């Protein structure tokens, strides 16, 4: 298999830093039983795909998220006839970094934490992608999310590759002081593997602007590696410390920009839509607030604490304030508690999954009572779930299109840091909208050209840009 061209900066990722372990192989992981080779999204050339999975040591469990993600890409590659060497390069990340680091807890004891940074591809620019702080984060999840970042950045037209990272930690179980020490120590452990021109992390599930500020400050403290504005090493920072106006809401804004662009062809008007939201954190709450601002009515919401509904409408701003105080939607006084099944069965025009991966499996897909699924979360729909949605005529706006607003405004933040500028909110929103509309147009064009579903079309549009880059730059040496 031809190797990818190492960038000059890539050399440093081959070193061992503070005991970091770089896993060269593929840790299959897996989330449950089943057999077969990435069977869920198999295209017509199943034999060829099976051979590639075996050759690259990809996980063969059909429930494995990384296997599902790569299968989706390979299906699009098959439809557009992408050269084999590119399928192979993109099927595996360039670098998988795992670190273990000790942190002193408030009670004086020391605890060892595990962290990850996966750098999937940098053909289009520096690696870019969030950091997840979650007790159940695994290497395969991070690899999948890094892969999706490569696709997303390509589709939305920002000059970045794909990366992702995380710490195996439940932020809700730690004091602010403990989290600060965990985050700063993790930053130190990966400091030589990230950089403003090399790999630029951002927030994801469980992490936010305060964590980004600690990372930027820690990285700046290691001043010999930061360049002339080391805080450009990370985006999603507080506005007071190099962040961009509009970044916090950007992913939700992008979800709604995509809906506004795509709904008319589905004969739906945003101002007449009802919608439900799964996951009411950053992406879910901002999607809810901004869609509500367009006139849509939110009638059901779920998060890790419970499921609520009110047919007359739930005010997204008011619920957001409630969640900020209580930590979840459970007990919200202006809506009634419902069961999980009732939540999925709630009749709405648009359903916005904005929680974790693989939450829309076959049972949920069977229950959903909506016309459109707008994927705010990454990989919320399993291939088996998606097949059912398709059979039922439910349109899916794929995550690499729908939730690309976050990385787009992260790019704007990085440009502002690098050029010592500060953009106003209107400008940020306008530029974001341009990127989202263009990505939607590219997706529509690919769907027309290849007569395929929107997810395949979005992947094709992303792969086309990567293919063009690889064709002109070639493979080193």
- The residues of the shown chain that bind ligand NAD, judged by CB under 6 A, are 203-206, 251, 278-284, 302-304, 354-356, 376-378, 403, 406
Instruction: Give the helix ranges, DSSP H, for 119-267.
Output: 139-156, 176-190, 209-221, 250-262
Q: Least Å distance between CB 71 and ligand NAD?
A: 19
- Distance between start and end Cα atoms, the chain: 13
Strand partners, 243: none
Q: How far apart are CA 159 and CA 156, in angstroms?
A: 9
DSSP single-letter state for residue 382 = -
Q: How far apart are CA 348 and CA 350, in angstroms?
A: 6
Q: Least Å distance between CB 376 and ligand NAD?
A: 6
How many angstroms from the chain centroid is the CA of residue 391? 26
Q: Least Å distance between CB 54 and ligand NAD?
A: 30
Instruction: Give me the torsion for CA of 395, 360, 256, 213, rounded to 10°.
Output: -150
Q: How far apart are CA 358 and CA 375, in angstroms?
A: 11
Which one, of 470, 468, 462, lies nearest residue 77 by Cα?
A: 462
- Specify the residue, 163 or 284, whose C-beta has the smaller distance to ligand NAD: 284
- Specify the residue, 38 or 279, whose C-beta has the smaller distance to ligand NAD: 279
Q: Least Å distance between CB 254 and ligand NAD?
A: 8
Close Cβ partners of 324 (under 8 Å, ≥ 6 residues apart): none
- Specify the residue, 195 or 236, whose C-beta has the smaller distance to ligand NAD: 236
- Specify the residue, 53 or 127, whose C-beta has the smaller distance to ligand NAD: 127
Q: How far apart are CA 458 and CA 386, in angstroms?
A: 15
Catalytic residue among 94, 128, 152, 164: 164
| Residue 164 appears among annotated catalytic residues | yes
Strand partners, 274: 297
- Specify the residue, 60 or 235, whose C-beta has the smaller distance to ligand NAD: 235
Helix (H) or strand (E) segment spanning residue 287: helix 282-293
Sheet holding 372-374, edge to edge: 336-337, 306-309, 297-303, 274-278, 350-353, 372-374, 395-397
- Specify the residue, 67 or 279, whose C-beta has the smaller distance to ligand NAD: 279
Q: How far apart are CA 441 and CA 155, in angstroms?
A: 10
Q: Least Å distance between CB 145 and ligand NAD?
A: 6
Q: Least Å distance between CB 236 and ligand NAD?
A: 7
The backbone region for 395, taken as left when phi is positive above 0, alpha when psi lies in -120 to 50, beta otherwise, is: beta
- Specify the residue, 226 or 376, whose C-beta has the smaller distance to ligand NAD: 376
- Which residue of the chain is nearest ligand NAD when measured via CB? 281
Q: Least Å distance between CB 365 and ligand NAD?
A: 16
Active site residues: 164
């Amino acid at each position: 298999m031809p190797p990818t061209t190492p960038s000059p900066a890539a050399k440093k990722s081959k070193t061992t830093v503070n005991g970091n372990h770089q896993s060269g192989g593929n840790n299959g992981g897996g989330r449950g039983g089943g057999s077969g080779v990435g069977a869920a999204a198999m295209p017509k050339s199943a034999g060829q795909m099976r051979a590639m999975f075996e050759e690259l040591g990809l996980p063969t469990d059909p429930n494995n998220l990384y296997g599902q993600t790569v299968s989706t890409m390979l299906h699009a590659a098959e439809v557009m006839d992408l050269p084999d060497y590119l399928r192979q390069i993109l099927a595996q990340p360039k670098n998988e970094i795992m670190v273990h680091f000790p942190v002193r807890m408030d009670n004086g004891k020391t605890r060892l934490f595990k962290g990850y940074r996966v750098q999937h591809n940098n053909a289009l620019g520096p690696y870019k992608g969030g950091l997840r702080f979650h007790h159940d984060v695994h290497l395969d999840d991070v690899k999948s999310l890094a892969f999706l970042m490569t696709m997303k950045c390509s589709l939305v037209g920002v000059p970045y590759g794909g990366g992702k990272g995380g710490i195996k930690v439940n932020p809700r179980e730690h004091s602010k002081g403990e989290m600060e020490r965990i985050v700063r120590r993790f930053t130190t452990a990966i400091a030589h593997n990230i950089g403003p021109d090399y790999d630029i992390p951002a927030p994801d599930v469980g992490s936010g602007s305060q964590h980004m500020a600690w990372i930027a400050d820690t990285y700046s403290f290691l001043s010999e590696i930061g360049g002339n504005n080391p805080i450009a090493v990370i985006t999603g920072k507080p506005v007071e410390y190099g962040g961009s106006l509009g970044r916090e809401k950007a992913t939700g804004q992008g979800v709604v920009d995509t809906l506004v662009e795509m709904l008319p062809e589905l004969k739906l008007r945003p101002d007449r839509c009802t919608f439900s939201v799964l996951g009411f954190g950053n992406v879910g709450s901002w999607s809810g607030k901004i869609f509500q601002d367009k006139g849509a009515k939110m009638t059901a919401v779920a998060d890790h604490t419970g499921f609520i509904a009110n047919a007359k409408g739930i005010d997204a701003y008011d619920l957001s304030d409630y969640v900020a105080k209580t930590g979840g939607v459970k007990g919200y006084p202006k809506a009634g508690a419902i069961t999980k099944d009732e939540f999925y069965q709630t009749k709405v025009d648009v359903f916005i999954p904005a929680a974790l991966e693989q939450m829309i499996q076959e049972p949920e897909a069977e229950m959903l009572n909506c016309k459109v699924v707008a994927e705010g979360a990454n990989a919320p729909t399993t291939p088996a779930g998606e097949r059912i949605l398709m059979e039922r005529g439910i349109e899916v706006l794929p995550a690499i299109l729908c939730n690309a607003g976050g990385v787009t405004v992260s790019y704007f933040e990085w440009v502002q840091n690098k050029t010592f500028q500060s953009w106003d909110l209107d400008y940020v929103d306008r530029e974001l909208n341009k990127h989202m509309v263009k990505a939607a147009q590219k997706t529509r064009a690919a769907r027309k050209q290849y007569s395929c579903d929107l997810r395949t079309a979005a992947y094709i549009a992303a792969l086309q840009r990567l293919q063009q880059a690889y064709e002109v730059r070639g493979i080193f040496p």
